[in-house]
Amino acid sequence: MKQSKWDPFRYEGLTAKQSFMGAAFLFVIAGISGWIYEELFYRLNDGYFSWRGHGMGPWLPIYAFGMVILLFLTAPVVKSKLKVIFLCAAVSGGFEYLVGWALYRFFGGLRLWDYNVERWNWGNIGGFVCIRSVLVFAVAAPILIYTLVPLIGKMARSLSRRAYAFITMIPFGLFLIDIISGYLIKGFWK
């Protein structure tokens, strides 16, 4: 069966189910990576550590969703590293701006980030996106794509189906529960 050009794991020889589980696992890894990045950045920016995010876990949903979007959008051009880098920059910048603007516009001025008040905010557009953030995503996303996708593929091929499902889906489920409960507790959906 021919795999879709949109399947980011097609070169790893995974089934559709294994690809879904791999993307779910990458979702968690990207959310955690984003949380670590923000903890370190805001330590430098503010001079102290502060808990980033809205949930209980060490992860940030925007990085997770953004990475999975990039994972699938770059799949057709994954053989060209330069195209992947430029696509990651353009899509992540657009995604960050769109989500920031939508949260502000439709959730009563909610700002989960504001580049207006940060250091290193060159090219700042409305506090929603800046060149620094786009450059970080343009570098970090391809690193995850070119290192983790092959590692996840290797893991899927070497583990039993049950072990692979357990390792990939349990963290994903915990992350989703944390996202949903975080929004319910904070009342974003009232």
Domain membership of residue 5 (yes or no) is: no
Q: Is residue 3 part of a domain?
A: no
Report how many domains make up the chain. 1
Whole-structure pTM value: 0.88
125 forms bridges with which residues in the sheet? 129
Which helix (H) or strand (E) segment holds residue 35: the answer is helix 16-46
70 closest CA partner among 135, 141, 143: 141
Distance CA 186, CA 118 (A): 25
CA angle 190, 97, 48 (to 5 degrees): 80
Range of the domain at 58: 10-186
Residue 35 lies in a domain: yes
List the beta bridge partners of residue 129.
125
Q: What does the pLDDT read at residue 187?
A: 61
pLDDT at 55: 82
In a domain, 112, yes or no: yes
Q: Establish if 155 belongs to a structural domain.
A: yes
- pLDDT per position in the chain (190 positions), as tens? 456 788 888 888 899 899 999 999 999 999 999 999 999 988 988 888 888 877 888 999 999 999 999 999 999 999 999 999 999 999 999 999 999 999 999 989 989 889 998 888 889 999 999 999 999 999 999 999 999 999 999 999 999 999 999 999 999 999 999 988 877 776 655 4
Residue labelled with tokens 């069966």: 1
Q: Is residue 39 part of a domain?
A: yes
Confirm whether 45 is domain-assigned. Answer: yes
Rounded distance, CA 79 to CA 86, Å? 13
pLDDT for res 3: 66
Structure-token pair, residue 155: 């893991």
The pLDDT assigned to 186 comes to 64
CB 77 within 8 A of CB 84: yes
* Residue 107 domain flag: yes
CA distances from 117 to 104, 113, 121, 128 (A): 16, 9, 8, 11
Determine the pLDDT at residue 2.
59
